[in-house]
Amino acid sequence: MHKKVSTNHYPFKDFKPHGLVEFYQREHVLLTTATGPFNEEIIDAHSFMQKDYINKLSADYGQWFELVEFENSCMATPGALEKLMVYFVELRRKGIAPAKTALVIKEGLEGGSLLSDTYCNLYKRAGMVMSVFKSKTAALNWLAEEPATELAC
Average pLDDT over residues 124-136: 95
Over range 54-65, report the average pLDDT. 92
| Alpha-carbon span 50 to 60, nearest angstrom | 15
Determine contact, residues 9/19, Cβ cutoff 8 Å: no
Q: Tell me the pTM.
A: 0.87
DSSP 118: H
Domain chopping of the chain, boundaries: 19-144
Question: What is the mean predicted confidence (pLDDT) over 89-101?
Answer: 95
Closest to 36 (Cα-Cα) out of 75, 87, 91, 83: 75
pLDDT above 80 (res 61): yes
Looking at the domain covering 19-144, what would its CATH class be? alpha beta
pLDDT band at residue 1 using 50, 70 and 90 as cut-offs: very low
Amino acid occupying residue 1: M
pLDDT score, position 5: 60
Q: State pLDDT tens for residues 10-56.
A: 456 676 778 999 999 999 999 999 999 999 999 988 898 888 889 98
